[in-house]
Amino acid sequence: MKQHKRESSAKQMFKAFLATPTGIISGLILLGLTVLVIMGPNGFGEQAVVSDMARSSEGPSAEFRFGTDALGRDIFTRTLAATRLSILYASAAVLFAMVVGGLIGGLIAAGGPRVRRVGATVIDTMMGFGDILLAVVVVAIVGVGAKGAVLAIGVAFTPHFARFTYSLVDSVMVRDYMSAAQVVGVSRSGIGTRYVGRNVADSLVIVTFTTVAEGIMAMSSLSFLGLGIQSPQFDWGQMLTDGVKNFYLNPYAALVPAVLILITGLAVNLFGDALARAVNPVLWNERPSLFRSKFRRSGAASAAIEPEITLDPGMETETRKGRP
């Protein structure tokens, strides 16, 4: 019976994901980006890394569809090769922020009134600083380079995840089923994993996924400022810096990586929207919207799913159901 319900839910989730064409389109785009990440610079031959000064800043041609950069390297293949570091480093920074921010937010929400009050004030204060400004300060402390940029962006995004997790856990802690779990003697660890964790994990994963788009922009911004990835490594931000310097000779050197950053950001956000719809039973029959706030839509995914508790010591009849 339980297996049948799980299969039925899986089918409904899949249908909900496919309810809007943006889920399919964004999924195909992300699949293509995944292939580029796997291939990396080695998959595009010497044109991505070897320079030819005799062909510096050429315009589009049959050989170089978007021309060459200031050092005579093919802009198109170089932009595709830069996908690996642009996405991997951004994803690592966001994952760091999710783990650290999630732990901080969860601990603050589980603390006493004074801990919650002080913790929320500290988080709100840190969120008052701009992400890029805070990242620049961290880079200035730890040093420029890929590792410094990943740490800086992770630290800059941590308050956002801490605040989001704090709000989710705090909303779950006041639910009726939490009081029922305490009455029947469920341990604190059991409450944390079986009830709080289940209701927070899906939303946190969705927000983490969609925040990767912001991470890519932040990583590219640091590289554009010369604080991120350094030569001989390269990402989209570093290519933007080089392209802007020679914009009037060949504007494609800046436009191509900028367009790929834009496409990647849109694809990640649209995929996150489709994913949020798939995991939230409340949204299965709702008309899709492209302009829903990611934090609001993802929060709904968690708030709408509550465990149904039967008051017996074994707690063996627990099921999950969606509430409007």
Q: What is the pTM of this model?
A: 0.77
Best CA proximity match to 215, nearest among 149, 166, 267, 289: 149
Give the ranges where the chain is alpha helix by DSSP (H): 2-17, 21-39, 75-81, 83-110, 113-127, 131-142, 146-173, 176-183, 188-191, 197-224, 236-245, 252-279, 294-303
Q: What pLDDT sits at residue 93?
A: 94
CA atoms of 302 and 201, how far apart (whole Å) = 8
CA atoms within 13 A on the CB side of 197: 8
Q: What pLDDT sits at residue 120?
A: 86
CA atoms of 100 and 161, how far apart (whole Å) = 8
Omega before residue 281 within 30° of 0, cis = no
Q: What pLDDT sits at residue 65?
A: 87
The widest CA-to-CA distance across the chain, in whole angstroms, is 80
Domain coordinates in residue numbering, the chain: 86-322
Best CA proximity match to 227, nearest among 128, 141, 130: 141
Query: Cβ of 111: how many Cβ atoms within 10 Å?
Result: 13
Range 86-322 has CATH code 1.10.10.60 = no
In contact, 235 and 85? CB cutoff 8 Å: yes
Q: What pLDDT sits at residue 296?
A: 42
Q: What pLDDT sits at residue 150?
A: 94
Torsion angle, alpha carbons of 166, 171, 177, 178, to 10: 40
Q: What pLDDT sits at residue 153?
A: 94
Q: What pLDDT sits at residue 98?
A: 92
pLDDT mean by block of 10 residues, the chain; 324 residues? 53 68 86 89 78 85 87 90 92 94 87 85 85 88 90 93 86 65 61 64 80 91 89 89 87 92 91 75 53 42 40 39 39
CA atoms of 126 and 133, how far apart (whole Å) = 11
- One-character DSSP codes across 17-56: HTTSHHHHHHHHHHHHHHHHHHH-GGGG-GGGT---GGGT
Bridge partners (DSSP) of residue 74 are 68
**Residue found under tokens 């939490």:** 178
CA atoms of 97 and 227, how far apart (whole Å) = 19
In contact, 127 and 160? CB cutoff 8 Å: yes
Contacts 24+ apart (CB under 8 A), 57-66: 57/246, 57/249, 57/250, 57/253, 58/250, 59/250, 59/252, 60/252, 66/252, 66/253, 66/256
**Residue found under tokens 């504007």:** 251
In contact, 264 and 255? CB cutoff 8 Å: no
Q: Which amino acid is at 12?
A: Q
268: left (phi over 0), alpha (psi -120 to 50) or beta: alpha
CA atoms of 315 and 184, how far apart (whole Å) = 9
CA atoms of 81 and 112, how far apart (whole Å) = 50
